[in-house]
Every structure is written in structure tokens, then in C-alpha cells.
Amino acid sequence: MSKIILTGDRPTGRLHIGHYVGSLQRRVELQNSGEFDQIFIMIADAQALTDNADNPEKVRQNIIEVALDYLACGIDPARSTIFIQSMIPELTELSFYYMNLVTVSRLQRNPTVKSEIQARNFEASIPVGFFTYPISQAADITAFKATTVPVGEDQAPMLEQAKEIVHKFNSVYGETLVEPKILLPENEACLRLPGVDGNAKMSKSLGNCIYLSEEPEDIRRKVMSMYTDPNHIRVEDPGSLEGNTVFTYLDAFCRPEHFEKYLPEYTSLDELKAHYQRGGLGDVKVKKFLNKILQETLEPIRNRRKELQKDIFAVYDILKKGSEKAEQVAAQTLLDVKDAMKINYFSDEALIAQQQERFNNKES
Ligand code: TRP
């Protein structure tokens, strides 16, 4: 069986380093591994509209931002198909059929939907489209017969829901859809990178992000103001690693060679942590180290983005070609689905002949 990746992001803002360690970095590695037969990366504008219906301009503006971030991180359009969700009408049609296989109570129990409803104060008036977006996400995944979906941890309930739809569909209509597997980051710190303020979630609305396109001075400022251990007041005080954002970021970004380069008096992160916990290591020193690592990581991405920004026409062309290619694949799956559901009236000659027969028999 072919190995196929499908994943994507809502275009509601520029992508940040949480996206990077949570999923983008992995996608690029998987792409470059050559292990996959096909890779689809989707800009989920239709999903973004499910909770931004009154702000289509925001979604429209951010499509290019996300595309630039993808390309800047190393997604290569020659090896990965980047496309825009709304340009593939087959996805909507698939969603409509899948809706019959999912109950309202099952959607209400979806933990991601639950917490997003709370976060958006939707309790009293949930838009139907928003409520059903896990079904549309199942359509995204299955339309491409994806076997592997590399995403952040928050997407796990979406994958569960998609798998249930696949099972239900296949058991009712016969083996048609492929069961997807989630691929989570291996590194604990990458599962959910906190915001610079220590909040568990890095998000645009909380204003606690470091963006991939962030300028060096802003990266430095954000790192130097990062949340650490509030009880670690003097350098001599023992410090705690628990909920200490600077160390969580080091867990996500630091590699052994960074010590040699930027902090040669330590040989490993464990050693640095032990010193911090013992006391005698100041926050500023650790933050400066993190700043150097982040600068090194983000500089090539920012520079590539600036290059790409010089030819926006070319970037839209990548999206257009990608969307055309993606639509062909989704259209084939839709045909398979409709065949399985027997909604293929005009292409089923046996059916028409049978019906004729039925009416002839009635006559006689
Ligand atoms: N829900 C994802 C997000 O919020 C975006 C998305 C839409 C997606 N469809 C998908 C991710 C299919 C993986 C697979 O970022």
C-alpha cells in the first residue's frame, strides 16, 4: 500500500515556533526521507471560516502567510503538494455523506471541539459548521487516502473521529476508505510548546508567540522577557524546572552541538539543568543561550521567506498547481465513495437495465 501524508493548518495568522516544533519540522524531515509516495499539505481556509465566518478577509490575507512559512521551512513543492482546502469542492461533498455516520452526541464529546467552544464563548450559539468541522477534517484526510497525519497533540481527537468514520463507512458500504495514523512529535516538549508568558498554549490571541518570520531583535526581546521560575530571584537561589518556559524551549530546540558553540562550560542540557536546580545559575545566562539557539534556528527560515516574498506571483502559482493536482486525487476518492454508496445511477448500466426489467414484469 502506498504511504501518503496529509496534514495542514488553518490560515488565521503567521505560523509560530510552536507549529514548527509541533509539526512543520517533522513534515520537512518526512518529505526529505523519501519514504512517502505522496505528501499533501493543506491550507485549511474552509475550516478557518468555521469560526471566522464574519472575517473572511483575515483568512484570505493569511493564506499567503502560511504558504510562505511552509516554503521557508523547507516544504518543497516538487516533492509535496501544497493546496488550498476550499479549492477542492469534493471535500465538501464527502463531508456531507460522512455527516450521516456521526452522531451529535459523539461530536459533543470530542475534547478538542469542547475546549474550542469554551475558548470562543460559543456555548450558547455554536455555528453548525464549526460543530461539524471534525467531520470535514475526516473528509480532508480520507480524500487523499492518507496513511499518516503528522500533527500536534491537540489534533488527536480529530484523528480518532476520522478513524471512526472510516470504520463506519467501510462496515456499512464495503472497504473503501483508508485508516489514517497520527504521527506525534517524539520530544515531549514539542508536543505543546507553551507561550513565552508561560501560558500552556502559544496563540496569536494571547500575544505570546514567537513567529517564524520574527525579526532578530524581537526574538531577543521575547526571550529575555520569558517566564521562568518566579521564586528564582537571586542567582544563588535554587531554581525549579517545573513550568519553566525557558527550559521547556531548550528541551525543544537545544542540540548537543549548541553547547560547544555557545556555552562550552557545560556539556549537556542535563548538566545545565542540574546547576540551575542547585542554585548559582542566573536566568539571564540561560535566556541568552536560548536566544542564540533560536536565532540560529530562525535565521535561515526568515531569510528564505524574504527571498520568496520577492515573487508572490510564483507562490500563488504553486498553490494553484497544487490545488489542481489535489483536486484530481480527491475526485477519484469521491467516485470510489459514491460507487460504494451506490450513488452512481448514470454510470451503472446494469441498474438501468434492471429497472427496465422490473417495469416490464409489472406490465405483463
Ligand atoms: N485542524 C487543523 C488545525 O487547526 C487543520 C486541519 C484541517 C488539518 N484539516 C486537517 C490537519 C487534516 C491535519 C489533517 O491546525
pLDDT tens digits, 152-196: 888 999 999 999 999 999 999 999 999 999 999 888 888 889 999
Distance between CA atoms of residues 219 and 213, nearest Å: 10
pLDDT the model gives residue 354: 93
pLDDT band (50, 70, 90) for residue 348: confident
Residues 333 and 304 in one domain: no
CATH number at residue 344: 3.40.50.620
Residues 185 and 291 in one domain: no
Distance between CA atoms of residues 134 and 47, nearest Å: 9
Mean pLDDT for the chain? 95
- Asked whether residue 174 is domain-assigned, the answer is yes
Side-chain-facing half-sphere of 133: CA atoms under 13 Å: 24
Number of domains in the chain: 2
Report which protein residue has its CA nearest ligand 1's atom 3.
9
pLDDT the model gives residue 198: 94
Distance between CA atoms of residues 233 and 218, nearest Å: 25
Residues 54 and 188 in one domain: yes
More confidently predicted of 41 and 153 = 41
User: Crossing angle for the helix pair 25-33 and 56-73, nearest 10 degrees?
Assistant: 50
pLDDT the model gives residue 281: 95
Residues 132 and 34 in one domain: yes
For the segment 241-269, the average pLDDT, to the nearest whole number, is 96
Alpha-helical regions (H) of 192-268: 216-224, 245-253, 256-262
CA of 152 to the centre of ligand 1 (A): 10
Pocket of ligand 1 (CB under 6 A): 6-10, 44, 47, 137, 140-141, 149, 151, 155
Query: pLDDT at residue 347 above 90?
Result: no
Strand partners, 40: 6, 81
CB 142 within 8 A of CB 164: no
Residues 44 and 175 in one domain: yes
Cell 510552536 -> residue:
18
Residue 151 CB coordination number (10 Å): 22
Residue to probe by mutation, ligand 1, list 66, 158, 183, most atoms within 8 Å of CB: 158
Residues 111 and 157 in one domain: yes
Report which protein residue has its CA nearest ligand 1's atom 8.
8
Q: How far is CA 101 from CA 19, 107, 147, in A?
A: 31, 11, 21
Which of these three, 273, 288, 308, is where a domain ends?
Answer: 308
Residues 24 and 163 in one domain: yes
Distance between CA atoms of residues 324 and 248, nearest Å: 41
Residue 314: alpha-carbon gap to chain centroid = 24
Give this prediction's pTM: 0.94
Report which protein residue has its CA nearest ligand 1's atom 2.
9
Distance between CA atoms of residues 280 and 316, nearest Å: 53
Residues 241 and 319 in one domain: no
Segments forming the whole domain that contains residue 220: 216-308
CA of 127 to the centre of ligand 1 (A): 18
Residue to probe by mutation, ligand 1, list 91, 115, 116, 155, most atoms within 8 Å of CB: 155
- Asked whether residue 364 is domain-assigned, the answer is no
- Asked whether residue 358 is domain-assigned, the answer is no
CA of 352 to the centre of ligand 1 (A): 41
Interval 350-360: pLDDT, tens: 999 999 999 99
DSSP string, 137-188: HHHHHHHTT-SEEE--GGGHHHHHHHHHHHHHHHHHH-S-SPPPEEE--SSH
For the segment 229-251, the average pLDDT, to the nearest whole number, is 95
Q: What would the grid cell of residue 38 be?
A: 505522496
Element (H, E) at 301: helix 283-308
Residue to probe by mutation, ligand 1, list 39, 45, 92, 151, most atoms within 8 Å of CB: 151
Residues 334 and 259 in one domain: no
Atom of ligand 1 nearest to the CA of 137: 9
pLDDT band (50, 70, 90) for residue 364: low
Which residue in 78, 79, 90, 43 sits closest to 328, CA to CA? Answer: 90
For the segment 124-140, the average pLDDT, to the nearest whole number, is 94
Residues 59 and 103 in one domain: yes
Which residue in 2, 12, 1, 87 sits closest to 48, CA to CA? Answer: 12
Residues 275 and 188 in one domain: no
For the segment 278-282, the average pLDDT, to the nearest whole number, is 95
Give 226's contacts (C-beta < 8 A, 6+ positions apart).
196, 197, 198, 245, 246, 249, 287, 290
- Asked whether residue 205 is domain-assigned, the answer is no
CATH number at residue 260: 1.10.240.10
- Asked whether residue 67 is domain-assigned, the answer is yes
- Asked whether residue 39 is domain-assigned, the answer is yes
Residues 89 and 230 in one domain: no
- Asked whether residue 209 is domain-assigned, the answer is no
Q: Cα angle at 53 between 48 and 54, to 5 degrees?
A: 130
Q: How far is CA 213 from CA 60, 86, 107, in A?
A: 19, 26, 36
Query: pLDDT at residue 144 above 90?
Result: yes
- Asked whether residue 207 is domain-assigned, the answer is no
Interval 67-94: pLDDT, tens: 999 999 999 999 999 999 999 999 999 9
Distance between CA atoms of residues 33 and 36, nearest Å: 8
